[in-house]
Amino acid sequence: QVQLVESGGGLVQPGGSLRLSCVASGFIFRSYGMAWYRQEPGKQRAWVARIDSDDSTTYRSSVKGRFTISRENAKNTIYLQMNSLTPEDTAVYYCNVHLNSRDYWGQGTQVTVSS
């Protein structure tokens, strides 16, 4: 049973930082790439960042240089360090893994960037 549990969201001012966490279970974590997605109000869910099983990373252009995705395999956890946050980063952030021909999602964690 695949489970993904996000945490770390909250309210921050523009220019501030947050670190999100996602704890995974139910699969061999170190063998799979993981991703962060987000869903802004009134928009479709969009990919934010990916980390492969070999630690290679990719980012959507709007977060490059500000966000860092990482993984700690011993804890079955991925992180998203978010710096220099802007109101446009306000969204529900979701953890994702694709395995057995389907996508699995966590419950999401709310990030609100507002002054």
| Pairing verdict, β 109-113 and 10-12 | parallel
For the chain, 115 residues long, give each residue's pLDDT as a single digit of tens: 999 999 999 999 999 999 999 999 999 999 999 999 999 989 999 999 999 999 999 999 999 999 999 999 999 999 999 999 999 999 999 999 999 999 999 999 999 999 9
pLDDT of residue 41: 85
- Taking the CB of residue 4, how many other CB atoms lie within 10 A of it? 22
pLDDT of residue 16: 98
- Taking the CB of residue 111, how many other CB atoms lie within 10 A of it? 22
How far apart are the two ends of the chain, measured CA to CA in Å? 40
